[in-house]
Structures are given as C-alpha cells and as structure tokens.
Amino acid sequence: MMMLTLDEDDVAKQLWSQLQTLRVDDSSSPYYGGYIDVLSKDTHMFDNVLPAIVERRGQDAGIFTE
C-alpha cells in the first residue's frame, strides 16, 4: 500500500505479483482466494484485509490489471 501511496507503480506491481504467489488458488479449497498457510491454518485478519484493500486501490488506479 505504501508503494501505491508513493506512486511507485513499478515496485507496487512487483510486490503485488509476489503476493499473488502466496494466495490459495485451489478453487475447491474452503480457503480459496485467501492468504493462509493451509497446512497449519495460520492466518490473521490482516493477512487478508490488507491485500484486499491494496488490490482494490491498485485496480481503481489502473495499476493492477489482472
């Protein structure tokens, strides 16, 4: 979120791309779309709320186009 605020769009894109590797992409999983260690069930609210806020801000600004 800081990189979006600082208009560091390239860095924000790189960080967003890396964050996406941590998201649960298995559509049959009850955790689909979330950021959680599926094996240990370790997560907390900020693991999911902050990425959602950043995703919306990046999409609204036209930076994240996925």
- The confidence band for 26, taking pLDDT boundaries of 50, 70 and 90, is very high
Sole residue written with tokens 């599926």 = 38
Q: Where are the alpha helices (DSSP H) in the chain?
A: 2-5, 9-20, 45-60
pTM: 0.71
48/34 Cα distance (integer angstroms): 6
pLDDT: which is higher, 16 or 45: 16
26/30 Cα distance (integer angstroms): 9
Q: E-assigned strands of 1-66?
A: none
pLDDT (0 to 100) of residue 35? 87
